[in-house]
Chain A
Amino acid sequence: MRVAAIDWGMLETLLALGIVPAAASELIQFRRIAVEPAVPRPVTDLGLRGSTNYELLRIIAPDLIVISNFYEYQRPMLERIAPVFARPVYEAGVAPYALAEAATLALGERLGRQAEARRYLDDTSGEIARLRASLPRSSARPVFIISLGDSRHFRAFGRDAMFGDVLSRLGIENAWTDETSYSAAAPVGLEALARVPEASILIVSPLPADVGRSLPTNALWNALPAVRGNRVAVLDPINHFGCLPSARRFARLAAAALAGHAS
């Protein structure tokens, strides 16, 4: 069965189930900011996620198109090409990990890969449990997971973001307790990080261009206890709206960074 993926989370999931899609969206950017799983060369790029190249997709003529609820508006167009598969993963106020598990199982079932899907679920929860056990006791501090908008603003990942959900599954308290919408809240000034003085900070890449120069001279940033206590780490890029493969990648990178803080 030839599959095309519009949504990045579903692209990850397909690759995790051992299915190489015929086509997927925005691969240039995916390889740069979602990084894994690696997308094999022959996969055709369908252009921007927000404006799929329908003509090209028509020529490729897949048997199934996987999207997510963010791309529902494309459904009428896509259904003219092939049946569309969609499961919700990100819903406001809902922790996404369990939804991602359900979506993975459903996709596995749709593609006749139930066993692989089940195994991937177990592997992922197993890896998270292993990482949780490996974290030193001293890393019991709450943690902010943020992405920097510029040298003055950040977005926090709360409990309805994949990163926030995985953090709690690692047994770590999320220092950001406010509402967020989907995975990322509106940009907040860095001073909000002072609300939880004992917290550590994990910054998810990529970093905006001006941060390298302006952040070290930012008086308030330098006064934050986490910065003075050297409890800030920059993680490699991870897909913000990912599914289980992103959850795993985040768990691994976050655990490594936090272990580094404790030592």
Chain B
Amino acid sequence: MTDRLATGPLRVQRALSPFALWSVLAAAAAFLFAWRVGMQWAATLPGDGTDLGDVILFYSTLPRAAVAVLAGAVLGLSGLLLQHVLRNPLAEPSTLGISAGAQLAMTVASLNAPLLMERSQGLVAFAGGTAAVLLVLALTWRRGLEPVSVVLAGMMVALTASSVSAALILANGDYLFSLFIWGGGSLVQQDWGPALALAVRLAAGAIAALMLLRPLTILGLDDASARGLGVARHTSRFLVVALAVWMATTVAAEVGVIGFIGLAAPALATLSGARTLRQKMIAAPLLGAILLWLTDGLVQLAAGSGGERIPTGAGTALLGGPLLLWLLPRLRMFEWPRLGPDGTSPRKASRPWLLILLLLALTLIAAALALVVGHGPAGWSFASGDLLRDLAAWRAPRIAVAAAAGAMLAAAGVVIQRVTGNPLASPEVLGVGTGAGAGLTAVLTISATAGLGWQLAGSALGSLAALIAMLAIAARAKFGTDRLLLAGVAMSALCSAVITATIAMGNAQSYILLRWLSGSTGEATGLDAWVALACLLPLTLPVFLAARWLDILPLGTDGARSLGVPVAAGRLMLIVAAALLTALAAMVVGPLSFVGLIAPHLARLAGFSRARVHLAAAMFLGALLMIVSDWLSRMAAFPYELPAGLFASLLGGPYLVHLLARGTPRQG
């Protein structure tokens, strides 16, 4: 592990006093609120009997402002605790699977136990969030709750849970409209109940956090130092995480998913000059409150009488994305643990190319079986002769598209994980996949009935715009990997916000987007298949040729430079290749990035450590994973076709998590 003390306080640039800046923002939020109250005072309804204007002011406007302030503070504190104790500046309720777990629990409860949902929605969400975190902690227990493994497992749990939720929502139509709203994060209030619940959580959380101040400070050090100072690491970490989850799930249950505050507030607190943990614990909730209050004021300002155009939860990301992009050059990250001998590579394959041939054979067999074995109106059938020729026209393109997309995402994943030296990185963090979604959203917003050609064009332009923006930011930081990752995360948050806002409208566009998001291969045509396969070779060839760079770059900038690798140019070229691969895959099968995360890990865990064989093995594994997923998506609920992405994460996720849990206990 790297020495945490060395990375110490973050650098602050004092262009203007942070205190003045935040005061101005708080004043702006307060002004928006006062203006709204004033408007309502002026427009007090004539009323029949009671004064409805007063009722709205007291039961809607005031509690909404209170909820905005309280939820912002709760999220800021929760994010700070999580980031501090897991020593990961990207940790927040959504990256740990808490939100996704809560959503899955609520989806399942709505379908199977409506009475339970009716009784205690909050409890269901809390149970789901807790279950997700418990799963994550249990899976990483043997590794001493090592921060990187915790977040990696958290992402897997989150991806799997959200795919299952998406599939359930899709299969149940309008009935789950409430979950759209919940996913968008709306602060609309008609009561003081949620405000009170949040106030209690904030108070309890603040007291508990203050009591845990000393163990917390020590947990911010690395494991060896913490143990040396006699802190029971597991117990303390567990307690702090539980506290943060409790606070975060309350927000999730009361108002829905409010992303980004938990991520941004602690970072901004540090940038604004909060150095000690005590200062941060005061600043982060304050800044979270200001951010959410201001966002909600702006969301209400933008709302027409026909309803809010942007849910507040999506609004925070819309505002927060650019904010984070602005922050990037000013932010210094924690050191990320590197892929290396301390990683999870248990053994080295002795004859890697033989294994790769085996993988190739497996992929071909899977493709052949997927082509022949299927479900007909009368049950299982092996297609042959005329029937096979007939069905192959439908099955072959989707098998080919699935395989090509899987291989592309896997290749992109290998490149990104190696270039950034970060085992958590996946093509998703480049933002190009969600950029495609934002482009698709734009097209659908202009015309809900846009044809496939327009949809593809929109996706392509979206990816391209996201990629250019990303590269422009990364270029300013000389393609430093941390900046690149953060820029990608910000870009993803921004694009996801656009998508979420549209999905929250719950109209025809929502279903198209939801289907795209969950990764559907159903509309693949022969042309798609040929384009995807034809692009695979020219895009992956340069990556194979640059395999030496991929071997060296994980060693870090200095090491790579001393070995004669042109670091900035090399990274640029590799990232562009990865982004193109991701964009193409996202256009045809949606942002199935878990394949890009899983396949490289599976290949590495199977013993492929050199870049070239790692790349080849990951690509075959990615293709295999997607072929099997596509087949399962057609067969599992026949005649109902489910998203292939769901099965990709269901297949790969648990296996990866199992391998992680089984991995050698960490030293240190």
Binding site for B on A (CB under 8 A): 26, 29, 33, 44-56, 58-60, 69-70, 72-77, 80, 147, 149-150, 152-153, 155, 178-192, 194-195, 197-198, 206, 208-214, 217-221, 223-225, 228, 240-241
Does B228 lie at the interface of the complex (its beta carbon under 8 Å from any beta carbon of A)? no
Chain A residues with CB below 8 A from B307, complex form: 185-188, 192
Do A152 and B508 touch (CB < 8 A)? no
Instruction: Determine if B639 and A220 form an interchain contact, defined as CB atoms under 8 angstroms apart.
Output: no
Whether B117 and A210, one on each chain, are in contact in the complex, defined by CB atoms closer than 8 angstroms, is yes
Contact B188 A53 (CB under 8 A): no
- A48-B170, A73-B455 as given contacts; A182 in contact with B507, CB under 8 Å: yes
Instruction: Answer whether A178 and B374 are a contact pair too, CB < 8 Å, given A33-B173, A219-B191.
Output: no
Interface code B188-229, partner A: CB below 8 Å = 1, 0 otherwise? 111111000000000000000000000000000000000000
User: In this complex, which of A52, A208, A213, A241 has the most chain B Cβ atoms within 10 angstroms of its Cβ?
Assistant: A208
Docked-complex contact B191 and A217, CB < 8 angstroms: yes
Give 7 closest A-B pairs by Cβ, nearest first.
A220-B190, A189-B188, A209-B117, A186-B307, A188-B307, A150-B178, A208-B178
Q: In the complex the two chains form, what is the Cα distance from A46 to B376 in whole Å?
A: 12
Q: Beyond A192-B307, A198-B48: 15 further Cβ-contacts under 8 Å?
A: A44-B377, A51-B523, A149-B181, A150-B178, A150-B181, A186-B306, A186-B309, A187-B505, A189-B190, A191-B59, A197-B46, A197-B52, A208-B175, A218-B191, A223-B50
B388-409: which have CB < 8 Å to A?
Answer: 390-391, 393-395
A69 to B452, CA, bound (A): 13
Shortest CB–CB separation between residue A158 and chain B, in angstroms? 8
B109 interface residue (CB < 8 Å to A): yes
A76–B394 alpha-carbon span in the complex (Å): 12
Minimum CB–CB distance from B124 to chain A (whole Å) comes to 10
A44 CA to B377 CA, complexed, in Å:
8
Name the A residues within 8 Å of B520 (CB-CB): 51
In the bound complex, do residue A48 and residue B118 qualify as a contact, i.e. CB atoms below 8 Å apart? no
Contact of A208 among B110, B190, B511 (CB under 8 A): B110
User: From residue A43, how far is it (CB to closest CB) to chain B in Å?
Assistant: 12
Q: Given the known inter-chain contacts A187-B506, A192-B305, A194-B56, please indicate yes or no for A221 contacting B174, CB distance below 8 A.
A: no
The reply to whether B173 and A51 contact each other, CB–CB distance below 8 Å, is no
* Complex Cα gap A59–B387 (Å): 9
Cβ < 8 Å to A, chain B residues 419-466: 448-452, 455
Asked if B385 lies at the interface with its beta carbon under 8 angstroms from chain A, I say no
Which of A52, A183, A187, A194 contacts B181 (CB under 8 A)? A187
Give Cα distance in the complex from A73 to B453, angstroms: 9
- A-B pairs with beta carbons under 8 Å apart, 27 shown: A33-B174, A50-B170, A51-B515, A54-B522, A58-B394, A72-B451, A73-B449, A73-B512, A80-B393, A147-B177, A152-B186, A153-B178, A178-B306, A184-B506, A187-B186, A187-B308, A188-B307, A190-B190, A195-B45, A197-B52, A206-B175, A210-B178, A213-B118, A220-B55, A220-B60, A223-B50, A223-B59
Which residues of chain B from 114 to 132 have any CB-CB distance to chain A below 8 Å in the complex? 114, 117-119, 121
Contact in complex: A182, B508 (CB < 8 Å)? yes
Q: Looking across the interface, which residue of chain A has its beta carbon closest to that of B444?
A: A73
Q: A179-B306, A186-B309 are in contact. Are A152 and B47 (CB under 8 A)?
A: no
Question: Which bracket fits the contact residues of B?
Answer: 35 or more
Q: Which of B175, B306, B390 contacts A33 (CB 8 A)?
A: B175
Known: A48-B640, A210-B121. A187 touches B190 (CB 8 A): no
Whole-angstrom distance from the CB of B225 to the nearest CB of chain A?
A: 47
Once bound together, how far apart are the Cα atoms of A47 and B635, in whole Å? Answer: 12
Nearest-CB distance from A225 to chain B (Å)? 6
Give the chain B neighbours of A182 by CB distance below 8 A.
448, 507-508
A70, B177: Cβ atoms under 8 Å?
no
Q: Could you tell me if A73 and B523 are in contact, using CB atoms closer than 8 angstroms? A: yes
Distance of A144 Cα from B525 Cα, bound (Å): 45
Closest CB of chain A to B501's CB: distance in Å?
9
- Check B230 for interface membership: any CB of A closer than 8 A: no
- A49 cross-chain contacts in B, Cβ below 8 A: 511
Cα A196 to Cα B465 in complex, Å, equals 45
A185/B306 contact (C-beta < 8 A), A51-B515, A194-B55, A221-B190 known = yes
Is B564's CB within 8 Å of the partner chain A? no
Contact call B525/A77, Cβ cutoff below 8 A = yes
Q: Does B246 contact A (CB under 8 A)?
A: no
In the complex, residue of chain A having the shortest beta-carbon distance to the beta carbon of B454? A73
Q: A180-B306, A197-B52, A219-B191 are contacts. A59–B377 as well, Cβ < 8 Å?
A: yes
Known A-B contacts A48-B170, A194-B56; the reply to A53 vs B308 at CB < 8 A is: no
Contact partners of A211 in chain B: CB under 8 A: 118
Q: Report how far A197 CA is from B45 CA in the complex, Å.
A: 9
Q: Indicate the member of A45, A178, A190, A209 with the most B CB atoms within 10 Å.
A: A209
Count chain B CB atoms within 10 A of each CB in A53, A80, A220 and give the residue with the most. A220
Encoded as 1 (CB less than 8 Å from any A CB) or 0, chain B from 319 to 360 comes to 000000000000000000000000000000000000000000
* A73 and B451 contact, Cβ closer than 8 Å, known pairs A147-B177, A210-B118: yes
Q: Is the CB of A240 within 8 A of B174?
A: yes
| Given A72-B449, A186-B306, A191:B177 Cβ within 8 A | no
Could you tell me the distance in whole angstroms from the C-beta of B246 to the nearest C-beta in chain A?
A: 21
